[in-house]
Structure 1
């Protein structure tokens, strides 16, 4: 969903003689959308965001706040919201088929937060999208907006921060289950002149958004997990948890995907 001012800014770049491909890469807006805006710049009626009759200008926190904290982590990693028919919206969370337990946990969270209590699944190549339909998704996830998440500012509303502070591990678990992993690294050391191999577990979280990584590390700080940054291609996309005590905490409250 893009407002008129966003559309005008994007088209102004095209008007400068730039290609649709270059504007798409800079803004995160698809070339198909840019082409359609050259014909009609005003959003269709179903794309306009009207005040929610239930929530008004601000959302009422979902009743199951632990499930919401987990779903918020999943949404920030692998989720998106798109308009549906009439005034409703689709929330989609992409879950790798390699982790059927993750798909079940995601569906349970969507059903717990969705006022209708429903979810559905859409199969694609290598992954399953867990989908919920509601008018309230933009209210529950005010981070929703035009373009890719790492191209825009991501902050939590005060009521969201309160939920994350109350249920930090659920939030961390959602982020790890979306854009994180638990791996086993190994190294060799000479012991008495003989090389021995040592294996040790660690957690990684990878996300291009500086803001989302900061939300993750701020929450790790609050629960007492030590972390470090590691670069990929000169860019600090990765957050690593490798200290033994911190990995043990993560294993207790998060655990590997399954």
Structure 2
């Protein structure tokens, strides 16, 4: 952060007819900074929103519904990486086929940390919605070394309270990251003829048994019936339960 005297001195040199390069060399200020001061000399203020978990009395994020959704996305397809100067990046990787999910992820990330930057990093066939903050590990204490399925994943009591208050947002996040709605089919004999019969079903797939447990515990709370055909997959196929999921989650978009 440059003081106002330095800013005025650099602009005065430019006003005398000096080039940006010359003013930069004399003041030690980058040309980009001097150029920006020609439009706005006052330092841009920050709202300085504190991390709710770092206050003297920790509290949950203000937008708890957005947090529950982002928590589901993070547990499914997210990661947090350390950067320079104590800054962390959270990345949620989403398929290009679902632009609505990408928009929803970015909106949730901005709602949880409105004072921090969020961007989209394009990759082959997908987008990594990325946000920077010093406080992502505070907000997602599940962050740690290695893959999630190789370590214990458990919610803190304050996180569980948010999930209990916004269970469908949590389920939506998990389905949008590691789940899908598909149409299954089978055949039945009707009047001696084989007829094709189609029915919708939801799947959730994750290698972490802990995350699977968080998913099914929340489904139980919501009255959604499910089956576990194997250690990594959860199936929801009962008509009433699919109808519930369609009301609150729906197909990817």
TM-score, length-scaled by structure 2: 0.78
Give the corresponding residue for 2:174.
175
2:76 is the counterpart of 1:77:
yes
Which one has the largest radius of gyration? 2
Q: Is the 8 Å Cα contact of residues 110 and 116 (structure 2) preserved in structure 1?
A: yes
Aligned-partner Cα distance in 2 for 1:174–1:195: 39
Give 1:53 shift. Answer: 10
Give the corresponding residue for 2:115.
116
Q: Is the 8 Å Cα contact of residues 183 and 203 (structure 1) preserved in structure 2?
A: yes
2:138 is the counterpart of 1:139:
yes
Q: Is the 8 Å Cα contact of residues 187 and 196 (structure 2) preserved in structure 1?
A: yes
2:54 is the counterpart of 1:55:
yes
Unaligned runs of at least 5 residues, structure 1: 1-51
State the secondary structure of the residue aligned to 1:120: strand
Give the number of aligned pairs: 203
Range with bigger deviation, 106-115 or 136-145: 106-115
Aligned-partner Cα distance in 2 for 1:172–1:227: 13
Cα distance change of structure 1 residues 180 and 53 upon mapping to structure 2, 3 Å threshold: closer
Unaligned runs of at least 5 residues, structure 2: 1-50
Q: Is the 8 Å Cα contact of residues 53 and 60 (structure 2) preserved in structure 1?
A: no
Q: Is the 8 Å Cα contact of residues 115 and 134 (structure 1) preserved in structure 2?
A: no
Give the corresponding residue for 2:32.
none
TM-score, length-scaled by structure 1: 0.76
- Residues 155-199 of structure 1, C-alpha deviation per residue, up to 9 Å, x if partnerless? 000000000000000000000000000000001101001111110
2:97 is the counterpart of 1:102:
no
Aligned-partner Cα distance in 1 for 2:102–2:96: 8
Aligned-partner Cα distance in 2 for 1:120–1:104: 11
Aligned-partner Cα distance in 2 for 1:122–1:207: 24
Cα distance change of structure 1 residues 89 and 105 upon mapping to structure 2, 3 Å threshold: same
